[in-house]
């Protein structure tokens, strides 16, 4: 049954179609990069699990999460982004070309943006597995609320998702019970939600409780809660239990490749760069403080922009700076430094005197140090000498002194010192 | 290798998933099941269930908010 995988090439492959991935794709598409977004199921990610999003700027009146992400998807399509709905099976980030494989395809990309987000955490209580997938345990009130019209449902958790989705469920269910791990009156959600929930006549609370086990024949029939203080077991008869107890990152396929936190979130810098050049991570999958649609969108913008810069710099580095036709001289400077600017005229004079026999290039580090980093330059200004596409010398000292340089440069082409004094 | 198509258009959760689960029981390894859906809730549980069971899954968006979930039975 092994058939050849179809190979396709892209500038950018985005893994994950939530707000972070969609925004990264919009930025990449807008930069006219050929962009593919791979999503394992429904475009929109965890935002589609939320019935109302009250705090995403620019969208008043609490729209459904799916509404916002569908608009993002439309925008990405307008930017020429292609979509593939399937799971990524493996990745290879070594080398300049990154490889992303799915069940039937092999995608080769200049850059990869990881936006795989998270998934709902489960309680791990006994028999939980038996009732997943529409057998009674749900993580999405929006999806399953209507099926609970007139019923008694149980919500586990007390964060924003638990309480806000719990209140949404009261529009359908007759009674919504909430299992809260904390002491009476203490919840993890925002104050507005807490007050509204406590005042809601359809809601009641089991304080200091966690799930002990789930019971039922084929479908869920009863959830046994355990009071952590009294050890008492409290049976709650219900055929629907909604779990909102946080999230786990979707990082299994990157384990051993990407640097991760103790909780398996991907570690990046503020440019969304991972430990692999050309591989970026954004959104909930990142190790960061606040995980919201807003912060995911911000991350995605940075990752899309960073991917564009990375591709442009790679092309410039390989085709221009590391050219092999002539010996090369690269002046690395910061345009806001007056001394460096003054030196530009010396570089011009040198270039002219060599009448095209030496390839002279100028690299300004003001906006990005990416090219300087690739050259191995750590201070500015600096002069880099190349021969046959290899760096032969880097000079930091003396290059800004009047009259010193032209002779020095000629000398540098004869010698080869990695960092010259 | 057999191909089975389930028309689950217009059906909300959990109907598409239950139909798919029942159909898969009757199928052989290598057979392909195509479930046509237009309720996004099924996009959350159907592919995830099939992958957890170890099958290969791809989805085609045939129209706006209309999908074909293609499941190749792998075991």
A86 neighbourhood in chain B, CB within 8 Å: 57-59
Would you list the domain boundaries of chain B?
3-72
Q: Give, for A90, the enclosing helix (H) or strand (E).
A: strand A88-92
Active site residue B41: no
What average pLDDT does range A166-184 have in this prediction? 95
Nearest CA in chain A to B70: A86
B50 neighbourhood in chain A, CB within 8 Å: none
Cβ–Cβ gap A133/B61 under 8 Å? no
Sheet of A175-179, strands arranged across: A137-138, A240-243, A152-156, A175-179, A203-206
Q: Which of B4, B13, B15, B57 is catalytic?
A: B13
Q: Looking at the complex, report in whole angstroms how far the Cα of residue A134 sits from the nearest Cα belonging to chain B.
A: 6
Q: At what angle do helices A293-315 and A19-30 cross, to 10 degrees?
A: 40
Looking at residue A418, its pLDDT comes to 56
Looking at residue A419, its pLDDT comes to 57
Q: What is the pLDDT of residues A64-113, one digit of tens each?
A: 999 999 999 999 999 999 999 999 999 999 988 999 999 889 999 999 99
Looking at residue A399, its pLDDT comes to 63
CB A189 within 8 A of CB A158: yes
B48 neighbourhood in chain A, CB within 8 Å: 41, 133
A248 at B interface, C-beta within 8 A:
no
Question: From the list A1, A42, A86, which residue is nearest B57 (CB)?
Answer: A86
Question: From the list B45, B56, B58, which residue is nearest A134 (CB)?
Answer: B45
What average pLDDT does range A228-240 have in this prediction? 94
What average pLDDT does range A228-255 have in this prediction? 95
Q: Looking at the complex, report in whole angstroms how far the Cα of residue A86 sits from the nearest Cα belonging to chain B.
A: 5
**Which tokens in the block code for residue A142?**
């929006």
For chain B, helix (H) and strand (E) counts, in that order, are: 2, 4
Q: Which domains does chain A have, with CATH numbers?
A: 6-120+247-316 (3.50.50.60), 128-243 (3.50.50.60), 323-420 (3.40.30.10)
Q: What is the DSSP letter of A317?
A: I
**Which tokens in the block code for residue B18?**
């239950």
Cβ–Cβ gap B60/A42 under 8 Å? no
CB A160 within 8 A of CB A70: no
Q: Looking at the complex, report in whole angstroms how far the Cα of residue B39 sits from the nearest Cα belonging to chain A.
A: 9
A2 at B interface, C-beta within 8 A:
no
pLDDT tens by residue, chain B, 75 residues = 899 999 999 998 889 999 999 999 999 999 999 999 999 989 988 999 999 999 999 999 999 889 999 999 998
Looking at residue A400, its pLDDT comes to 56
Q: Write out the residues of chain B at the interface with chain A, using a CB-CB cutoff of 8 A.
A: 12-14, 17-18, 30, 40-41, 43-45, 47-49, 51-52, 56-61, 67, 72
> C-alpha dihedral over A248, A254, A255, A260, to 10 degrees?
-70
Q: What is the ipTM of this complex?
A: 0.89
d(CA A369, CA A377) in angstroms, rounded, equals 9
CATH code of the region B3-72 = 3.30.110.40
């Amino acid at each position: 049954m092994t058939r050849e995988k179809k190979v396709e090439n892209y500038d950018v492959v985005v893994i994950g179609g939530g707000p972070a991935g969609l925004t990264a794709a919009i930025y990449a598409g807008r930069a006219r990069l050929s962009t593919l977004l791979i999503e394992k199921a429904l475009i929109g990610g965890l935002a589609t699990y939320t019935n109302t999003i009250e705090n995403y700027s620019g969208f008043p009146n609490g729209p459904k999460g799916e509404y916002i992400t569908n608009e993002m998807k439309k925008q990405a399509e307008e930017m020429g982004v292609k979509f593939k709905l399937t799971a990524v099976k493996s990745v290879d980030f070594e080398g300049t070309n990154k490889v992303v494989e799915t069940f039937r395809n092999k995608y080769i990309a200049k850059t990869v943006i990881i936006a795989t987000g998270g998934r709902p955490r489960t309680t791990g209580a006994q028999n939980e597995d038996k009732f997943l997938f529409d057998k009674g345990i749900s993580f999405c009130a929006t999806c399953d609320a209507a099926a609970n019209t007139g019923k008694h449902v149980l919500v586990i958790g007390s964060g924003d998702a638990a309480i806000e989705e719990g209140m949404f469920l009261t529009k359908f269910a007759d009674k919504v019970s909430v299992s809260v791990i904390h002491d009476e009156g203490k919840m993890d959600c925002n104050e507005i939600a807490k007050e509204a929930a406590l005042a809601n006549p359809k809601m009641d609370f089991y304080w200091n409780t966690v799930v002990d086990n789930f019971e039922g024949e084929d479908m869920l029939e009863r959830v046994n809660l355990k009071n952590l203080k009294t050890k008492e077991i409290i049976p709650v008869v219900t055929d629907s239990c909604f779990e909102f107890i946080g999230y786990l990152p979707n990082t299994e396929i990157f384990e051993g490749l990407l640097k991760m936190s103790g909780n398996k979130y991907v570690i990046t810098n503020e440019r969304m760069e991972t430990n692999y050049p050309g591989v970026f991570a954004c959104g909930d999958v990142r190790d960061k403080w606040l995980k919201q649609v807003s912060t995911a969108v911000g991350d995605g913008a940075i990752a899309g922009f960073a991917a564009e810069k990375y591709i442009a710099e790679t092309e410039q580095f390989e085709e221009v700076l590391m050219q092999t036709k002539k010996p090369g001289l690269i002046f690395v400077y910061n345009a806001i430094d007056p001394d460096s600017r003054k030196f530009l005229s010396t570089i011009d004079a040198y270039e002219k005197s060599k009448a095209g026999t030496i390839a002279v290039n100028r690299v300004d580090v003001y906006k990005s140090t990416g090219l300087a980093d690739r050259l191995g330059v750590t201070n500015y200004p600096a002069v880099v000498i190349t021969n046959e596409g290899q760096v032969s010398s880097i000079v930091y000292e003396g290059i800004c002194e009047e009259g010193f340089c032209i002779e020095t440069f000629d000398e540098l082409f004869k010698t080869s010192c990695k960092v010259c004094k | 290798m057999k191909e089975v198509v389930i028309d689950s258009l217009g059906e909300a959760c959990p109907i598409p998933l239950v139909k798919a689960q029942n159909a898969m029981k009757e199928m052989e390894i290598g057979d392909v099941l195509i479930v046509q859906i237009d309720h996004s809730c099924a996009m959350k549980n159907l592919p995830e269930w099939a992958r957890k069971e170890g099958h290969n899954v791809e989805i085609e968006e045939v129209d706006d908010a209309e999908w074909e979930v293609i499941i190749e039975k792998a075991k």
